[in-house]
């Protein structure tokens, strides 16, 4: 009987610790502090660069497609050059031209060799170029 009472006492004494329940207000306060921390904002900005990489001309996927271009993760490095022989490798690029009439963002122009009708080219940095509507 004493053993049984002792076991019940042990069970009652070993109650789980209370878990603090954060209210939504406390969670919002913490999130606001984190959002306003410049160190965290810098890390977020750096992470976004990895999410939306730039091509060799400085264009991002979002900017390319917003301007009506075609983002290609594995485009030909010779696009728009008219080269007779080209290395077989992939290059991220914003493609333009072609039968679909892909465009380039403001400050970029479509580089084409001019050798082929409906040729696909690539958007290249051209600060003097204004986007055609």
Contact predicate 121/110, CB 8 Å: yes
Query: Structural domain of residue 68, as residue ranges?
Result: 61-125
- Determine, yes or no, domain membership for 23: no
Tokens for 96, please give them. Answer: 């333009």
- Determine, yes or no, domain membership for 3: no
Name the DSSP letter for residue 60: B
Domains identified in the chain, total number? 1
- Determine, yes or no, domain membership for 73: yes
Q: According to the per-residue pLDDT averaged within each range, which of 16-25, 27-36, 104-113 is highest?
A: 104-113
Q: What are the beta bridge partners of residue 91? A: 75
Tokens for 55, please give them. Answer: 């091509």
Tokens for 75, please give them. Answer: 């485009």
Q: Where are the beta strands (DSSP E) in 9-128?
A: 70-75, 91-97, 108-111, 120-125
- Determine, yes or no, domain membership for 38: no
Q: What is the dihedral of CA 102, 99, 73, 87, to 10 degrees?
A: -120
- Across the range 88-111, mean pLDDT stands at 92
> For the ranges 13-17, 29-33, 38-42, 122-126, which has the lowest average pLDDT?
13-17
pLDDT, tens only, 15-31: 565 556 667 888 788 77
- Across the range 126-133, mean pLDDT stands at 63
Helices 38-51 & 24-35 angle (0-180, nearest 10): 80
pLDDT band (50, 70, 90) for residue 57: confident
Asked whether the predicted pLDDT for residue 8 surpasses 80, the reply is: no
pLDDT band (50, 70, 90) for residue 72: very high
């Amino acid at each position: 009987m004493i053993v049984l009472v002792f076991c019940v006492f042990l069970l009652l004494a070993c109650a789980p610790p209370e878990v603090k329940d954060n209210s939504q207000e406390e969670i919002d306060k913490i999130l606001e502090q984190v959002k306003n921390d410049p160190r965290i904002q810098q890390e977020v900005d750096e992470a976004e660069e990895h999410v939306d990489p730039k091509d060799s001309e400085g264009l991002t996927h979002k900017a390319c497609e917003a301007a009506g271009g075609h983002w290609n993760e594995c485009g030909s490095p010779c696009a728009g050059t008219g080269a007779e022989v080209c290395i077989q490798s992939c290059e991220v690029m914003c493609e333009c031209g072609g039968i679909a009439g892909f465009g380039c963002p403001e400050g970029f122009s479509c580089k084409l060799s001019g050798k082929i009708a409906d040729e696909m080219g690539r958007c290249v940095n051209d600060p003097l170029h204004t986007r055609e509507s």
